[in-house]
Amino acid sequence: MTQNPYRLLLTQGDITRVDADAIVNAANTSLLGGGGVDGAIHRAAGPGLLDECRTLRGCPTGEARITGGYNLPARHVIHTVGPVWQGGHKGERETLARCYRSVFELVERQGLRSVAFPSISTGAYRFPISEAAPIALRELRAALARLPQLERVTVLLFSPEDLDVYRQALAALGATS
């Protein structure tokens, strides 16, 4: 299938400001907030998000849960729990891929048309971003090929350095697939 390249956007910025059907949160298994992008999303969404998260009773690593977006411009938040990097021999790569697939299962089920991701696991969970980027991009491209309902998938990189890593990974994938 030919893919419209404009359906996948890599950009630098703050995910809490993105207007999309859903933004993805790099959460922890409690789903009760934390630092990094999780803290930023909870601060921007307001206390309604934490109230709804409490009703979910957590989320195992590699799975995903959907809530409302509350005071965010995004309509929904999809919370997923990435793997903690432990050197790469504990199935971290497969678990990270599973996070992206779990998010897209919810996207498909809810009929969402636009979704924005942060770089899952590459902050506090220490997954090397040069290894995470090709895994993320492979899953995003597979979902775009599989789900015609998807109009736009955005990756919001927090720093220009992270954006460069993703851009280079996308160029490298383009050459091989």
| 3-class SS of residue 26 | strand
The correct pick among 8, 10, 15, 143 for binding ligand AR6 (CB under 6 A) is 15
Span from 27-35, 61-69, 143-151, 168-176 in contact with ligand AR6 (CB under 6 A):
27-35
State the number of binding residues for ligand AR6 (CB under 6 A). Answer: 24
Q: What angle do CA 143, 27, 106 make, to 5 degrees?
A: 35
Task: Report which residue type is found at 107.
Answer: V
Q: Is 27 in the site for ligand AR6 (CB under 6 A)?
A: yes
- Provide the angle, in degrees to the nearest 10, between the axes of the packed helices 47-56 and 36-45: 120
The correct pick among 7, 8, 22, 38 for binding ligand AR6 (CB under 6 A) is 38
* Tokens coding 175: 């050459």
Q: Is 58 in the site for ligand AR6 (CB under 6 A)?
A: no
Under 8 Å between Cβ of 20 and 154: yes
The correct pick among 8, 82, 95, 103 for binding ligand AR6 (CB under 6 A) is 82
List the alpha helices (DSSP H) in the chain: 36-45, 47-56, 92-110, 129-146, 160-176
Task: Report which residue type is found at 169.
Answer: A
Distances (CA, A) of 28 to 10, 23, 65, 157, 165: 24, 16, 12, 19, 24
Q: Is 92 in the site for ligand AR6 (CB under 6 A)?
A: no
The correct pick among 35, 46, 60, 174 for binding ligand AR6 (CB under 6 A) is 35
Of 19, 21, 38, 51, catalytic = 38
Shortest Cβ 129–ligand AR6 spacing (Å) = 7
The correct pick among 24, 121, 153, 165 for binding ligand AR6 (CB under 6 A) is 121
Q: Is 125 in the site for ligand AR6 (CB under 6 A)?
A: yes
List the alpha helices (DSSP H) in 2-128: 36-45, 47-56, 92-110
Span from 62-70, 118-126, 138-146, 147-155 in contact with ligand AR6 (CB under 6 A):
118-126
Q: Is 135 in the site for ligand AR6 (CB under 6 A)?
A: no
Look up 19 and say whether it is catalytic. no
Q: Which residues are catalytic?
A: 38
